[in-house]
Amino acid sequence: MNEDTNRLIELRREKAQALREQGVNPFPTTVSVTHTTQQLLDLYGEKEAEAIEQIPDRFAIAGRVKGQRDFGNVIFLDIYDRTGRLQVLLSKKLIGPENFQTFKKMADIGDIYAFAGKLMKTRTGELSLAADELTLQCKSMRPLPEKFHGLVDVETRYRQRYLDLIMNPDVVDVFRTRSEIIRLMRVFFSERDFLEVETPMMHPIAGGATARPFVTHHNTLDMDLFLRIAPELYLKRLIVGGLERVFEVNRNFRNEGISTQHNPEFTMLEFYWAYATYEQLMELTEELCCFLAHSLFGKLSFVYQEREIDFARPWKRLRMADAVAEYTDLSVEDLKDAATLKAFCKKHGLEIVGEPTPGKLMVLIFEELVESKLIQPTFIYHFPTEVSPLARRNDENPEVVDRFELYINGNEIANAFNELADPDDQRGRFVAQVEAKKAGDEEAHEYDADYIRALEYGLPPTAGEGIGIDRLVMLLTNSASIRDVILFPQMRKEQS
């Protein structure tokens, strides 16, 4: 139905107009509030009725009216503020017949009111505010969803998150937890002397990851810019600058598909630690995740989608080659032979593009056949050099880099490595990427000359890591879709 002709909205408009004519502004400035609903419950919820009656103070709360039980000369209201719910008792006796009548005629579920009065206990023993004063704080023009089933429609929940938040307390909890996780991360890194920084979101060169970027344009400079796909190259410039320990919590933008695991803009924690190695990052990652789980749950295990996830340390560590050997019938020796790997891929229906190296084939097999089986936290390390253009080679085996990814519940949660500090090696890797790009690899890196210049000044031995916050929040809030942990997930345009 056309929203402009909806009779429920029309009725509320008429009520607002009637209020104006009575001298009541339906959209006033605020009145002072003394307590939240939770404060009152904490202070007086357990007290006996007699004790409550002795309290001479008046209290003022404000919130949305979400429920109403009308008994003629007395009305019970469910008032919700950010902390929870309190019952308000409105009676003709206390507020006077005129106010009482006005409320009955003009108030709707969804309106926001402030109430002041003394506390009381009802016959059922529930702490309630017996209002002797009420002030409309906002006239709501739209009816809320039904009180029992609430708002279920997933599309409406995402498009109108405000309504989702009004109706579904579980959703509020998820976003409170998300906020708490990010707060704890800041505590964790601050305690370890990491400096929080903000680096550009608009990059002249989209670097630091392999992904297709969003392109935008700066009019005055008349230049195309890319929304960042990763902050990595800027954060490492800061390590060159001597900051030594930095972290950033911010959005990355990747012009890729949307799924339960992917949103075009997503939040990444990246941190860089000079004079540390990726082995130390594994330790730090375990510490961080355990700190989060312990802070949230008071223990290290939790259930995700009916599966028990256990953060108890130490976490499993597997070289990628060993992981592939463990989860397939290939041997570590087979992994060096392109022909064997190609045959294996063909047998398992894995699509091969071009003439990949054994390393690339191993990664393909890993991603297709192994990843999803890594349920408990597992570090996979020693990635092939050719898929890791910014990572330092392993000293014993230059074919692999000192890099790991963390998998939990079959999902990549973190990616980390010893940073490549050798500017000539880095230049060579960029050149290889540029050639891959010319050969049609849309996601290959571009050549970043200033980054090479920075490396030429000297990057101390550094390890760096990125942690996908949305996915970690999914795990820790038992959310099945990334859209459930992003307040306003990306949607197509709504039909008018």
Terminal C-alpha separation, the chain:
11
Nearest distance from residue 126's CB to RNA, in Å?
4
The β-bridge relationship of strands 59-70 and 74-81 is antiparallel
Q: Which residues is 378 bridged to in the sheet?
A: 316, 407
242 binds RNA (CB under 7 A): no
Q: Which is nearer to RNA, 266 or 272 (CB)?
A: 266
- Please report, as residue ranges, which positions from 275 to 314 form the binding site for RNA (by CB under 7 A): none
Nearest distance from residue 419's CB to RNA, in Å?
17
Q: Which two tokens stand for residue 235?
A: 């954060």
List the one residue from 299, 313, 480, 488 that touches RNA (CB under 7 A). Answer: 480
List the one residue from 19, 26, 64, 68 that touches RNA (CB under 7 A). Answer: 68
Q: Distance of CA 421 to CAs 5, 269, 345, 368, 373, Å?
A: 65, 22, 35, 32, 34
List the one residue from 207, 377, 384, 468 that touches RNA (CB under 7 A). Answer: 468
Q: Which two tokens stand for residue 456?
A: 């030429």
CB 403 within 8 A of CB 388: yes
List the one residue from 67, 97, 200, 398 that touches RNA (CB under 7 A). Answer: 67
Nearest distance from residue 29's CB to RNA, in Å?
26
CB 111 within 8 A of CB 127: no
347 binds RNA (CB under 7 A): no
149 binds RNA (CB under 7 A): yes
97 binds RNA (CB under 7 A): no
CA distance 198 to 194: 13
Residue 244: count of CB within 10 angstroms of its CB:
17
Q: Which is nearer to RNA, 91 or 409 (CB)?
A: 91
CA distance 168 to 175: 12
List the one residue from 42, 48, 53, 70 that touches RNA (CB under 7 A). Answer: 70
For 107, counting Cβ atoms within 10 Å of its Cβ (0-12 exposed, 13-18 middle, 19+ buried), the class is buried
- Please report, as residue ranges, which positions from 2 to 31 form the binding site for RNA (by CB under 7 A): 6-8, 11
430 binds RNA (CB under 7 A): no
CA distance 417 to 404: 6
182 binds RNA (CB under 7 A): no
448 binds RNA (CB under 7 A): no
List the one residue from 368, 399, 425, 456 that touches RNA (CB under 7 A). Answer: 368
Looking at 188-196, 249-257, 285-293, 330-338, which segment touches RNA (CB under 7 A)?
A: 249-257
48 binds RNA (CB under 7 A): no
What stretch of H or E contains 405?
strand 400-408
Looking at 133-141, 316-324, 392-400, 468-476, which segment touches RNA (CB under 7 A)?
A: 468-476
440 binds RNA (CB under 7 A): no
CB 486 within 8 A of CB 258: no
List the one residue from 91, 168, 250, 328 that touches RNA (CB under 7 A). Answer: 91
Peptide bond into 377 cis (omega under 30): no
From the centroid of its chain, how far is CA 398? Answer: 37
209 binds RNA (CB under 7 A): yes
List the one residue from 23, 56, 257, 440 that touches RNA (CB under 7 A). Answer: 257
**Binding residues for RNA, total number by CB under 7 A:** 79
Q: Which residues is 412 bridged to in the sheet?
A: 407
254 binds RNA (CB under 7 A): yes
Q: Which is nearer to RNA, 153 or 326 (CB)?
A: 153
CA distance 92 to 489: 46
Q: Which is nearer to RNA, 70 or 424 (CB)?
A: 70
Looking at 196-204, 261-269, 332-340, 423-431, which segment touches RNA (CB under 7 A)?
A: 261-269
Nearest distance from residue 453's CB to RNA, in Å?
25
How would you label 255-264 residue by residue, b for 16+ Cβ within 10 Å and e otherwise? eeeeeebebb
